[in-house]
Structure 1
């Protein structure tokens, strides 16, 4: 019952968050392409000490986003959809396929080019947008489909986090890295010793973030590590994990992600460049998200059931899994985040962001129309 209540709260917050993210994105793109666009773009590069405002958002505020993702994943593992191995394997395998096939498509189109490093861009799913689009269909959407998409997106984000940690880290500064990992070990020891006060975890987590920031490993990884160090206990409402996750939902959904969207979608559209034809990285992003995602998610889910590694949850149909796979092509937040790490050229970054937005809009629109069609047919049967 407690898990259901928290899931419902999560789903409702993501529904509203998706709408706000969309409005922020449209606003940011529109204002960037007006006469005050240059001033607006420069604002996000304002220096605050040794960091720009954009840097603080992407490395600082987004760590809190990753902390919430880690707490959600922890909950799913302990008491949610991922707590039963055979139930868990369906979204796990779906997420795996939804990462591998888009990455292969991108790599096939960009291997040996300057754009090869963007292979991680089409691997991600934006939870807020995907669930926000699904929620537009109202009570016609089966609960099992909502749970499947949520679990899929959370696992997908974990995969993206691992990709960032393994492939998008800069030159390592081992001393800082070992200090950060040493703090993580202390946090795990506190967990084992049943320290159930939240403030020591947050204090040491902030310290771990500082050393991770200067280690060459992307600092946002700290959020996930901290989440798994915080005691989950039995997932009861008085547990500090439950309280923190519940507290973070609204600030992340209604403050952090909208700010991230505003800061990272200040895209000046160069129509002359677009008219010259799409570069290979654009095709990799578009085909990876719009085509690779639904095919990879559906194929790997089907294979998992076929070899009896997973089971198809009662009430979940293959055509609805394919629809969830289409919505999985909404990359947005995580895809843009990986773009910032993958490329250094400003023009390529801006163009890649634009193609991510186009792909995400197409995936959202196709997914909405497709699911509306099959769910409508279902009510008429």
Structure 2
């Protein structure tokens, strides 16, 4: 089993554990542990601290692909990039059309990279071009989510702290230009940047992406500092950081769940945005662009694209993350959890089923 598949299984396991704890008598202890204070609450450290490392990893992967990988040519980014845009706009419109509270519009716009690629990795014989398409789409989708968080979910902007953030940023850019093999000085300045951004009122995870883009892809000695760090960090992200986030944010008490009235509208809006909006946005934009001459990746058919569009509806990590910013807790957040978990599960099952059907047909020689 591949690392991506194992990471997906770890994520599923952490989610099931959170649901079990929240519903089998451990809810009070679970919530008490998450709200214990160590300067910040444990939940705050997870959502602002560990997730900054997650976005550091996302940023490193994107920069590596842009410098040395499949995204070196702008033409390679056009199709998944515009599909990602469609996959953000349509879900938001569906959520608002259903009548969800305005502050939650961004919840169904996100795709969970680890979960989506983990599900895809469970199917043998998937075209390499399809994985590259979904990876690019999910990365650009998550970076779009970071911009949304920075612009729409900041609070009480502190200009002094924002100005102070320019100091470590300038230091990181200077070190990047020196192209040294050592990455720890940039990471140390990135930690200072994280503190400044946290205090500024912008969301602290933005510091992770900025730090990633300041890491040198190549050193003067011929090394690859960015890729080397990404390789060392990725197992920690897949098997520790993302599962810890899932465990901390997926604890939905089912016995107390009420999906009537306003809470039901939130859950329905989130679920429809992820399951229907993502599919229509990603697949619809891809079909439209193909009419204007943009070709599908090599070896990828429309059935494969439909499966990828379904898997893009697995919002999970990022959708829960944005939900926590939009709704600080209580019944509204439980409605978000219900919508995200329900839609993400169904999107995963449908996408996996379609990929298995296509894989079986391909094995029998069907086109």
TM-score (norm 2): 0.94
Q: Is residue 258–residue 264 contact of structure 2 (8 Å, CA) maintained in 1?
A: no
Q: 2:314 aligns with which of 330, 336, 346?
A: 330
- CA change 1:106–1:252 in 2 (3 A) is same
Q: Is residue 237–residue 243 contact of structure 1 (8 Å, CA) maintained in 2?
A: no
Q: 2:41 aligns with which of 39, 47, 52?
A: 52
Aligned counterpart, 1:301: 286
RMSD of aligned residue pairs (Cα, Å): 2.0
The yes-or-no answer on 1:61 pairing with 2:50 is yes
- CA change 1:157–1:253 in 2 (3 A) is same
Q: Is residue 263–residue 332 contact of structure 2 (8 Å, CA) maintained in 1?
A: no
Q: Is residue 89–residue 304 contact of structure 1 (8 Å, CA) maintained in 2?
A: no
- CA change 1:352–1:272 in 2 (3 A) is closer
The yes-or-no answer on 1:312 pairing with 2:296 is yes
Shift of 1:375: 2.8
The yes-or-no answer on 1:192 pairing with 2:169 is no
**Distance (whole Å) between structure 1 residues aligned to residue 354 and residue 219 of structure 2:** 39
Unaligned runs of 5+ in 1: 1-10
Aligned counterpart, 1:131: 117
Q: Is residue 235–residue 241 contact of structure 1 (8 Å, CA) maintained in 2?
A: no
SS of 2:258's equivalent in the other structure is helix
Q: What is the 5 A alignment of 1:24-63?
A: 24-48=14-38, 50-63=39-52
Unaligned runs of 5+ in 2: none
The yes-or-no answer on 1:155 pairing with 2:131 is no
Shift of 1:379: 2.8
TM-score (norm 1): 0.91
Shift of 1:345: 4.0
Q: How many residues align?
A: 365
Aligned counterpart, 2:194: 209
Shift of 1:24: 0.9
**Distance (whole Å) between structure 2 residues aligned to residue 224 and residue 175 of structure 1:** 21
Shift of 1:353: 1.2
**Distance (whole Å) between structure 2 residues aligned to residue 120 and residue 276 of structure 1:** 21
Q: Is residue 109–residue 280 contact of structure 1 (8 Å, CA) maintained in 2?
A: yes
Runs of 4+ in 1 over 6 A off after TM superposition: 234-237, 275-278
Shift of 1:236: 10
Aligned counterpart, 1:16: 6
Q: 2:337 aligns with which of 353, 368, 373?
A: 353
Shift of 1:237: 8.5
- CA change 1:137–1:237 in 2 (3 A) is farther
**Distance (whole Å) between structure 2 residues aligned to residue 271 and residue 40 of structure 1:** 16
**Distance (whole Å) between structure 2 residues aligned to residue 178 and residue 277 of structure 1:** 40
1:232-264 CA-partner distances (Å, limit 9, x unpaired): 128998321011101111111111111111111
1:192-245 CA-partner distances (Å, limit 9, x unpaired): 233442121011111111111100000010000000011112899832101110
1:111-169 CA-partner distances (Å, limit 9, x unpaired): xx6x211111101111111111111212x211111121111111111111111111111
**Distance (whole Å) between structure 2 residues aligned to residue 51 and residue 211 of structure 1:** 15
**Distance (whole Å) between structure 2 residues aligned to residue 147 and residue 12 of structure 1:** 16
